[in-house]
Amino acid sequence: MNDWQPIPKPAELAESRLLQAILDGIFPVYSSLPAERELAAQIGVTRPTLREALQRLARDGWLDIQQGKPTRVRDYWREGNLGILARLAQSPANQPSNFIDQLLEVRLLLAPEYTRQAVEQSPGDVAAFLQQSGELNESPAEFANFDWGLHRSMTQLAVNPIYRLLLNSFHSLYITLGEHYFTFDECRRHSRTYYAALLDCARQQSAADAEALTRQTMSESRLLWRRLQI
């Protein structure tokens, strides 16, 4: 069976081209886009198709559309939403130099809490998932997928559903960076230690210990990432 990717729809193609132009600075922050007729001709789409693309970008916080005024490029770091982060996660060339470290800082803030909630709500499910860590080989890809699956499962078990929405926004980026991170023996050993300790916490139904352990581990992982970039 051929692994063909769906052909992008015209509005999706127009949206992608406009977004890349914003990220590349062709349409910088606070600038106004050309008139619809001119912009549609530049991209090679109809005006209704262009309007659909513009509305999508406005929804995610890239553009400000007001009736009777030129469409403005927003300062997306200040005025954007989670759609901005998801797009930047898919565009490594346009990420700030400290983007990954900033994401790890956010994970450090969030992971201890959703881990605590998951162990409180369903320690058996957390333990059942972690028991699979004993079957991990030394493949970076396998480690990355397991680590993603662990965190995703804990956000699914947590009380607050916002955690899973935040994590889901970074699936592709998480896997890509995880494969790089887990090419290092030290990182795989560090995570194995965490999985084993977290399994003990889940078996003992100790949510507080799971929270403290995760906070320490996420902090150490961030330091490891910084060291790997030197």
Q: Are 145 and 216 in the same domain?
A: yes
User: What pLDDT does 2 receive?
Assistant: 58
Residue 204 inside a domain? The answer is yes
Residue 54 located in a structural domain? yes
Q: Judge if 110 and 223 occupy the same domain.
A: yes
52-84: pLDDT as tens digits: 999 999 988 899 999 889 999 999 888 877 778
89 pLDDT tier (thresholds 50, 70, 90): confident
Q: Is residue 197 assigned to a domain?
A: yes
Domain-located, residue 38: yes
Whole-number pLDDT of residue 68? 87
Range of the domain at 110: 96-228
Q: So what's the pLDDT on residue 36?
A: 92
- What is the secondary structure of 3-53 as a DSSP string? -PPPPPPHHHHHHHHHHHHHHTTSS-TT-BPPPHHHHHHHHT--HHHHHHH
Judged against a pLDDT cut of 60, whether residue 1 lies above it is answered with no
Single residue among 27, 53, 81 that ends a domain in this structure: 81
In this prediction, residue 102 carries a pLDDT of 85
**Would you say residue 37 has pLDDT above 80?**
yes
% residues pLDDT > 70 (the chain) = 97
Check whether residue 74 and residue 110 sit in a common domain: no
What is the model's pTM? 0.74
Count of domains forming the chain = 2
Burial of 72 (0-12, 13-18, 19+ CB in 10 A): middle
Q: What is the pLDDT of residue 88?
A: 78
Instruction: Give the domain CATH number at 57.
Output: 1.10.10.10
